[in-house]
Amino acid sequence: MKHTIDSLLAENRRFVAEQLALDPAYFEQLAEGQHPDFLWIGCSDSRVSPNLITGTGPGEMFVHRNIANLVVQTDMNLLSVLQYAVEVLHVNHVIVCGHHGCGGVKAAMSGHSGPAHGLVDHWLRTVKDTEQYFWRQLEPLEETARLRRLVELNVVEQVYNLGKTSIVQRAWHERRRPFIHGWVFDVGTGRIDPLTKMIDSDDGVQELCKFARGEVSGKVSGKVSGEVAA
């Protein structure tokens, strides 16, 4: 059913009635505060609902979303969310989750040969840089496989960026938390697959660094012990 504004409000009333029928104190308890264990950094794509695909409920997951699930060191919005989640809410896990079929990554792939997308082209510059760096790996792939691989490489790059923020570095020094994770969601199957191991140290992040490994991108074997090399 195609929703309208009126139908959204009607669905809200139905939601409230159903929840109160199950638990008359539900909203009173919800209003007391949040204690999430997870921060989700994901894409704004309307098909990727973090709570829906992970089976979590209200209060269990703090969420930040942007086009192509980027962790940009100058993005004050993301950094504010990250700092609040790590230093105030004390989340134990931060998940960067990309998804196959990502429109942002696809737009970045079009490069100079594709249409201009306006401001979003500036936002996607980091994805374009990832594509350029790994072009020798990506070039032999057909278009669909290339998009899937770039989605994965982008996730790993963002996990690296996340681990290098002063917020995460300080938290690791003080309490060895949070663990950070790179995941990819397949819209076509509904499955989430881990792309990185669980990381809680700068040494773990350094293993993802393409410069430290000197890759200028010959073929990479892909998943090794639950990881996708970047």
Q: For 100-125, how does the pLDDT look when each residue is reduced to its tens digit (9 = 90+)?
A: 999 999 999 976 556 777 889 999 99
Per the CB < 8 A criterion, the answer to whether 128 and 111 are in contact is yes
Nearest alpha-carbon partner for 154 in 116, 187, 123: 123
Q: For 157-197, how does the pLDDT look when each residue is reduced to its tens digit (9 = 90+)?
A: 999 999 999 999 999 999 999 999 999 999 999 999 999 99
pLDDT at 221: 37
pLDDT at 211: 77
- DSSP lists the bridge partners of residue 11 as none
Element (H or E) spanning 150, and its range?
helix 143-163
Return the beta strands (E) in 59-103 as ranges: 61-66, 93-99
Reply yes or no on whether the pLDDT at 84 is more than 80: yes
Domain boundaries, the chain: 1-32, 34-228
Distance from C-alpha of 100 to C-alpha of 137, rounded to nearest angstrom: 18
**Average pLDDT taken over every residue of the chain:** 91
pLDDT at 229: 45
pLDDT at 220: 39
Reply yes or no on whether the pLDDT at 44 is more than 70: yes
Query: Between 3.20.10.10, 3.30.9.10, 3.40.1050.10, 2.102.10.10, what CATH number should domain 34-228 receive?
Result: 3.40.1050.10
pLDDT at 112: 54
Q: How is residue 73 written in tokens?
A: 């060191």
Total residues found in the chain within this entry? 230
Radius of gyration of the chain (CA): 19
**Residues annotated catalytic, as ranges:** 43, 45, 47, 99, 102
User: Can you give the pTM of this predicted structure?
Assistant: 0.89
Reply yes or no on whether the pLDDT at 224 is more than 50: no
Query: Stretch 83-112: mean pLDDT, rounded?
Result: 94
